[in-house]
Amino acid sequence: MGPAGIRPGDVLITNDPWMGTGHMSDVCLVKPIFHGDRVVAFSSTTAHMPDIGGRVRAIEARELFEEGFHIPLAKLIHAGRRDETLIQLLRANVRTPDQTLGDIWAQASANELMEKRVLGLLADYSLAELDAVGDELFLRSERAMRRAIRAVPDGTYRYGFQTDGTDGPFEFKIALTVAGDEIVADYAGSSPQQPRAINCVLAYTYAMTAYAVRCALLPGLPNNEGMYRPITVEAPQGSILNPRFPAAVVSRATTGHYVPALVLGALHQVIPDRVMAAAGSPLWAVTQSGVRDDGKPYTTVLFFNGGMGATPVKDGEDALSWPSNISSTPVEVAERQSPLFFHYKRLRPDSGGAGTFRGGLGQDMLIESESERPIIVSFMAERTRFAAPGLAGGDAGGPGDVRINGKRIDHRKQHVANRGDRILVRTPGGGGYGPPAERDPARTTRDRALGYVRRRPG
Digitized pLDDT (tens) for each residue of the chain, 458 residues in all: 566 789 999 999 999 999 999 999 999 999 999 999 999 999 999 999 989 999 877 788 999 999 999 999 999 999 999 999 999 999 999 999 999 999 999 999 999 999 999 999 999 999 999 999 999 999 999 999 999 999 999 999 999 999 999 989 999 999 999 999 999 999 999 999 999 999 999 999 999 999 999 999 999 988 899 999 999 999 999 999 999 999 999 999 999 999 999 999 999 999 999 999 999 989 999 999 898 888 888 888 899 999 999 999 999 999 998 998 888 899 999 999 899 999 999 999 999 999 999 999 999 999 999 999 999 999 999 999 999 999 999 999 999 999 999 999 999 999 999 999 999 999 999 999 999 999 999 999 999 999 999 876 55
- pLDDT of 337 reads 87
- pLDDT of 66 reads 95
| Nearest Cα residue to 300 out of 51, 43, 42, 11 | 51
What region does 165 belong to: left with phi over 0, alpha with psi -120 to 50, or beta? left
Give the Cα separation of 17 and 21 in Å (integer): 6
- Give CA separation, 179 vs 53, 216, 225, 231, 449, in Å: 45, 17, 20, 11, 48
Type of residue numbered 401 = D
- pLDDT of 426 reads 97
- pLDDT of 324 reads 86
Q: Are 412 and 405 in contact (CB under 8 A)?
A: no
